[in-house]
Amino acid sequence: MHTKVYRLAEMQPEQVEHAFCDCASIIKAGGLVAFPTETVYGLGALATSSSAVQAIFRAKGRPQDNPLIVHIQNEEQLRKIARRVPESAAKLAKEFWPGPLTLVLETGHAVAEEVSAGLDTVGVRMPAHPVALELIRRSGPLAAPSANTSGRPSPTCAEHVLEDLDGKIHAVLDAGPTGVGLESTVLDLCCEPPAILRPGGVSYEAIRQILPDVLVSPSCEQERPRSPGQKYTHYAPKARLVLVSAKEHAALAHLVGEQTAALLGEVGRVGILATRENAPIYEAVFAQQLREGRLMVLVSGSRAAPAEIAASLFDRLRQFDAQAVDAVVAEGVSEVNIGRAIMDRLRRAASKVVTPRFHVLFLCTGNTCRSPMAEALFREIARERRIEDRIEFSSAGIAAVPGMAAAEHAIQAVGEELRSHASRELTKDVVSGADLILTMTEAHKRYVTERYPHAAHKVHTLPEYVEDAAGDVEDPFGGTLETYEKTREQIQRMAELFFERFLKERRT
């Protein structure tokens, strides 16, 4: 099959008219045409034709249970596609259409059964691109997933479409790069409360202004997906992708550096997808590898302008493929507004996600008894549960003498691991490095919150945190081995409760 390419910016008005007429004819005859939207390029076929819709699945290599989105040009078409249009849909359409929001509604009988992949719902949106709207006006509602091979990064320009589908589709309407760069948000209005199935160009925060009870649905891995982008691996470059996510700027750069160094020891060429703020750091640290051609750094945009990152994301992933990079380390962004959609796409493309371990600091007075006992006992449980890559433990004392060994009875009660313990004093840096500070007594808690008020939100006594109860962990200092063993049993019981809470909070 020869794929026609209509480069609209290079055409005279009469040539543009011919391009639209030709593409509308192709679609009405059951063919496939790629066209631009404000999000990514879509692969359009007549939504009412089963054979045309089936051709989309074949061209893309798309799983048959992955539903498509129908693109419309006006509200009249919406009422033919959906069995009913609830008031919430009308409000959302008024606010966000034309635009990057797909509404999942009860399906009518006007679309081919294959569009919904056997579901009783259909995703519908009105794109905010003049070329898309004009093509739909001439041909009718279009079933249109992204115009790429299934699983690959979505196309944000005609060249990306041709990389994947040249010779597999009939035509491409080339109107230059798209604007948003990520697919539409998919919002399910057929459940209560409404749920965002795929974050995209319209943010959760914006939708909440219209629907205050809207939820963000977890990804569907086992059940039949109700939306594109839910079940299968998507958006992935050919290279292995490692996503690094951290709230702190310095921690993010450090982790990216660690992952890059490790991959340079394993594979031939590594790419870093960096924000503009951090790119100079990587270029300085890995200057030799850059000179040798073993490393490639591409800038996705500024951390202060996540829309810029969204617009460039898929193009940068394809650039890495073009340079035959073996692995890519990508910086994560804050999951606010469009950042939520960026992280969704990166997670789906990633073979590995790296985050800083959650750091728990135990605090007592001298850091020779209770806090090192807690550190050792909690660390042992983390190993048993195989989550030591997600959480780490340390200890300190408010009046510790640096370098002191653990008490001998503490070692006997807990284990030989404490032989290597060296006490350390609580400092501003130690406080700042902890995500959670668990003190052995109320007095220790007051000391920390008064001396370091900026950290008060993360300071709790151990009994308060795990049992929501007042009280202290018994101090065994100067006591017998039996006294230390009682303290160990108290800490052990609280440790079990702690891990139940920790794991539950990270599942929800």
Give the pLDDT confidence score for residue 222 in this predicted structure: 41
- The SS3 assignment for 360 reads strand
Same-fold call for 4-216 versus 240-354: no
Confidence of residue 118 (pLDDT cuts 50, 70, 90): confident
Average pLDDT, the chain: 94
How many Cα atoms occupy the beta-carbon half-sphere of 318 within 13 Å?
21
**Domain boundary assignment for the chain:** 4-216, 240-354, 358-507
- The SS3 assignment for 18 reads helix
Secondary structure letter of residue 244 according to DSSP: E
- CA gyration radius for the chain? 28
Question: CA 314, 183, 42 angle in degrees (round to 5)?
Answer: 90
Counting Cβ atoms within 10 Å, is residue 409 exposed (0-12), middle (13-18) or buried (19+)?
buried
Tens digit of pLDDT for each residue in 275-323? 999 999 999 999 999 999 999 999 999 999 999 999 999 999 999 999 9
Neighbours of 176 (CB within 10 A): 13
Whether this model's pTM surpasses 0.85 = no
Give the pLDDT confidence score for residue 357 in this predicted structure: 87
| CA distance linking residue 138 with residue 133, whole number of Å | 9
Give the pLDDT confidence score for residue 507 in this predicted structure: 54
With 60 as the cut, is the pLDDT of residue 219 above it?
Answer: no
376 with 344: CB under 8 angstroms? no
Could you tell me the fold of the domain covering 4-216? DHBP synthase (3.90.870)
Confidence of residue 231 (pLDDT cuts 50, 70, 90): low
Give me the helices (H) in 101-248, please: 130-139, 158-165, 204-208
Give the pLDDT confidence score for residue 134 in this predicted structure: 98
DSSP assignment of 368-434, as one string? SSHHHHHHHHHHHHHHHTT-TTTEEEEEEETT--TTPPPPHHHHHHH-GGGGG----B--HHHHHT-
- 313: phi then psi, degrees, rounded to nearest 5: -55, -55
Relative orientation angle of helices 158-165 and 306-322, to the nearest 10 degrees: 40
With 60 as the cut, is the pLDDT of residue 508 above it?
Answer: no
Measured between alpha carbons, how far is residue 463 from residues 200, 392, 459, 471, 483 in Å?
A: 42, 19, 12, 6, 18
With 50 as the cut, is the pLDDT of residue 384 above it?
Answer: yes
Q: Which one is the CATH code of 358-507: 3.40.50.2300, 3.30.420.40, 3.40.50.150, 3.40.50.300?
A: 3.40.50.2300
Could you tell me the fold of the domain covering 240-354? Rossmann fold (3.40.50)
Question: Average pLDDT, stretch 423-437?
Answer: 94
Q: Which residue has the higher pLDDT, 233 or 477?
A: 477
Measured between alpha carbons, how far is residue 237 from residues 176, 233, 264, 273, 451 in Å?
A: 22, 11, 18, 12, 49
% the chain with pLDDT above 70: 96
Beta bridge partners, 143, equal 45, 70
